[in-house]
Structure 1
Amino acid sequence: MPKIIVTEEQWIQKGIERFEQGGIEQLVIEKMAISLGCSKSSFYWYFSNRSSYIRQIVETWKEQTTQQVIASSIVHATADERIRDVLTRMFGTTKRGDFLFYLRKLSLKDDTYHSILDEVEQMRIEFMQQLFIQKGMQPEKAYRTSWMLYHYYLGWYERHKQETFNDETVQQHVHMIWTEWISI
């Protein structure tokens, strides 16, 4: 039987998938190795221990979910287009697991993750604040609007995370948010 080579990236992506389904309790190396079709010794080829693995999972998730959204919105020319794109991504993506929920839970036990969580949330709020400033909002109002929108999103996602929305429903929701909070 040929030996299956599993990359570090595959281990990390599997870890992200499992973490968002149940937190660190789902990161059982033996079970993940079976799922990846390899031996658990390949895990130790890339990671010195489970703690370093968890840290890498969180860092990769941070990069993928925050930095990529910010980078992808740059393709739009105007602040309005960028804001609408970010809102569409926020409210158009459900059924993706609860990574943020489990990270928040982990952060209660480990200050390292509390710092990462704070950094991610502050980065997201400040990014939206800058878009609102580009749109013409005063900085203080832009920050308050960003803060309120982010916290609204957290509750909205918790309420709707098991649902699937079509494009028309997402756009209606984005329009409602635009009309109530963003129009200046």
Structure 2
Amino acid sequence: MNSKTVLHRDNPEAEPLGGNVKVTRDDWLNVARDVLVSDGVEQVKVMNLAAHMAVSRSSFYWYFKSRQELLDALLADWQATNTGALIRQAEAEAATITAAVCNVHRCVVNPALFNTALDFAIRDWARRSDKVRDLLDQSDAQRVDALTKMFCRYGYDELEAITRARVLYYMQIGYDLAQLNEPVAFRLRLLPHYLLTFTGIEARPDEIEEFSVYAQSFWE
């Protein structure tokens, strides 16, 4: 990771803080998230983060009592963003189940909704920590439950709903993990067939078009 990290502020044109200028709690959290994704949890250390922001580590203790409190904040942030986003998208109103699945798939294409790299960083961290493993298991269960309830709203019985929810959710994890280098046009050509596989119902042309336009705005 570049030692001159650009801080994630609401105003992207603002000058990055550095030197003796105090940074915010969000700055520490954002840079910690970047380091977690790029280098793993072992490198999420106070001195390392301070070096990335070119500030004294003493400012860290204005916001966090310890490194563990920062790590707990990272986990809470991940749950609120990634898990929260998927649940919100699963609960979003839609005329059909295929449109509802397209709502969920907005998480796949829009990094502002769902940070896939962060999700994999948490999964890697869970291999080293029973506490994180437990939180990940809880999060996965919450996500699958939200998808199950989504299918149930459109008339699927409970067993079929949970089966389709698990297929949809775990297929996407595997898809992301494979890191397929495929053309956007080809991926979108498969969309109607994916939706048919996930739901057992053919999507309407307008649903395909709407999601394709949305996806292309991020993929191209």
When the two structures are superposed, what TM-score results if normalisation uses the length of structure 2?
0.70
> How far, CA to CA, are the matches of 1:181 and 1:64 in structure 2?
25
| Residue 142 of structure 2: aligned partner | 123
| Residue 102 of structure 2: aligned partner | 84
CA deviation profile, 1:42-76 (whole Å, cap 9, x unmatched): 11221121122111101101111121343356554
Which of 33-42 and 97-106 deviates more? 97-106
> Does the CA-based 8 Å contact 1:133-1:139 persist in structure 2?
yes
> Does the CA-based 8 Å contact 2:90-2:150 persist in structure 1?
no
| Residue 156 of structure 1: aligned partner | 175
Provide the alpha-carbon RMSD of the alignment. 2.6
CA deviation profile, 1:21-59 (whole Å, cap 9, x unmatched): 122123132232132242111112211211221111011
Q: Which amino acid aligns with 1:68?
A: A
Q: CA deviation at 1:165?
A: 6.0
Query: Which structure 2 segments of 5+ residues have no match?
Result: 1-17, 202-220
Q: CA deviation at 1:164?
A: 7.8
| Residue 8 of structure 1: aligned partner | 25
When the two structures are superposed, what TM-score results if normalisation uses the length of structure 1?
0.82
Larger Rg: 2
Q: Which amino acid aligns with 2:42?
A: E
| Superposition pairs of residues 102-121 of structure 1, within 5 angstroms | 102-121=121-140
> How far, CA to CA, are the matches of 2:189 and 2:140 in structure 1?
25
CA deviation profile, 1:90-111 (whole Å, cap 9, x unmatched): 2x258x6633333233323322
Structure with the bigger percentage of helix: 1
Query: Which structure 1 segments of 5+ residues have no match?
Result: none
Q: CA deviation at 1:128?
A: 0.9
User: What's the % identity of the aligned pairs?
Assistant: 19
> Does the CA-based 8 Å contact 1:70-1:127 persist in structure 2?
yes
Q: Across the two proteins, how many residue pairs are aligned to each other? A: 180
| Residue 70 of structure 1: aligned partner | 87
